[in-house]
Structures are given as structure tokens and as C-alpha cells.
Copies of this chain bind each other. A is one copy, B any other.
């Protein structure tokens, strides 16, 4: 077995090659292609594809089968960042230390590049020669449910509306669950489903994914208080300034850290019930996410 760092680097290399291949054989106008490619290769950590690989690896061999699904997932994640950064939304000039899409191109191109990535993600699943029709439809349905008005987009609306109010922990968790949790859940479930996992075991994996998503968010909030701006590629303290509802703001810094540990225990239990062995990379990724510094 390779170390978790090696596993992550390997996954990153795989997904970047898959994305490169997918985008090289295209018939898009060149400005659209440039804008899509710019954001797809703007230094993403590729966490979602890596989770998908790890979920598949936990239950089956040869991740080649999930490459296009991983690419579709990363395209959807990327489109959401491009639209999120727009002046009418978060109005961010930088992401991961790089200029955002609409700053390099223009707003209209950024809107269209996001639309194109979203649409293309569904297209490439229909063109995936390694999946059966049933598998393709499961993936498309799950991805649309996770990303659309019942999932991520719902989370973005609620997040926007919540910016001006103080939210309860329950409301905060609901928003995170929709905004970031649903795509993380998709990564875990899609990987396991394509590896042949069914029924009750999938339900336990949903529980695992639920807590993993929350851990991810708590750590994001903690890093916004104590993180290193250099490593994060963005200023810290922006959530404190905005008086936003975050875990540290609601529970204090120590309270947030304790909450994270509770989530870790619950996630680990669910993963065991799903039948994952102790050397599953999903478990290592769980701790990795909880400790990450950017």
C-alpha cells in the first residue's frame, strides 16, 4: 500500500490527465474552451475525484471504470466555483491565489463557461463506454440531484439568504450539507455503486459521507480563523469580519474542534458498518481532511 500523500498525488495526476484528454478532443469555440480549461486547471485540490477513487478502491479493483464520472464531478464542482466567484455572487477576484475566471476573461464568458461545464458533465457520462445504461442513468440522476435545485444550488441560495442573519447550528449544517455535502456524498456513493455496493451498505456510506462533509466544513471554518493565508491562497478572518455564522463563531474555536472529533467518530462507525476494511483510503482521507492546513 502507498501512503495517503502518495495516494492523493496519484489521484490528482489521474484526474488531471483524464480532464486533459476529455478537453483536448473537443469542438468548442476557442475562447470558450480557454475559459473552461483555465478554471479546470486553476490549482484545484481534486478532493472530490480522489474521494470517488477511494470509495471505488475500497470495494473493487481498477479505477479506470470511474474516470469519466470523476471528470464530470470535477467539472460540476468547477462550474459552481466559477459562478460563485461572479461579481453578483461572492465577487471574488482571486481563488487559490489565482485570478478568478471573470477577471481573466469577462463576466459573460465566465457565465457561459460555467454553463458549458455543467452541461458537458452530463454529456460525457452518456458517452462513457465503460458503464452500462443502468449505471449511466444512476450516475446522471444522482449527480443532477446532488448539484441542482434539490442539492448544491439550493445550498447556495440558502447560504446567500443566511448571510445577513445569525443561523442556528442546525440551519448552518443544513446549508453545508446542501452546498458542499451533496457533491461529497455523490463522490462516495457513485464510487461504491460502480464498485457493485448495494442497499443497506450504501445507506451506511451515505451516513459516512454526511459526516465527512461536515468535517470538511468545520475545518474550513477553523482555517479561516487560525489558517496560514499563504497556504490557503486567500486572506483569513473574512468570515469573522462578515459576522457570518460559522462553527467557531457559534461554538468557539475549542467547541468547533470538539465537534469535529465527534463527527470523526460517527463517520468511522458508519464506514465500518458499510463493510470497509481498516486500510480503506476513505478512513485515511477522513483524518486527512480533518487535519488539512489549506
Which A positions have Cβ atoms within 8 angstroms of B? 26-29, 31-33, 36, 79, 83, 86, 88-89, 106-109, 111-112, 114-116, 118-120, 122-123, 126-127, 133-134, 136-137, 140-141, 144-145, 147-150, 153-154, 156-158, 160-161
Task: Give the docked Cα–Cα distance between A149 and B30 (Å).
Answer: 10
Task: Give the docked Cα–Cα distance between A134 and B31 (Å).
Answer: 34
Q: Which residues of the other chain, B, contact A79 by a CB distance below 8 angstroms?
A: 115
> A153 near B89 (CB under 8 angstroms)?
no
Task: Give the docked Cα–Cα distance between A127 and B144 (Å).
Answer: 11
Closest to A155 in B: B29
Which of A32, A108, A119, A156 has the largest count of B CB atoms less than 10 A from its CB? Answer: A119
Task: Give the docked Cα–Cα distance between A147 and B112 (Å).
Answer: 11
SS of A interface (majority): helix
The 8 closest A-B pairs by CB, nearest first: A119-B148, A88-B107, A123-B144, A126-B141, A116-B149, A133-B133, A28-B149, A116-B153
Q: Which residues of the other chain, B, contact A123 by a CB distance below 8 angstroms?
A: 141, 144-145, 148
Q: Which residues of the other chain, B, contact A140 by a CB distance below 8 angstroms?
A: 122, 126, 140
Closest to A145 in B: B123
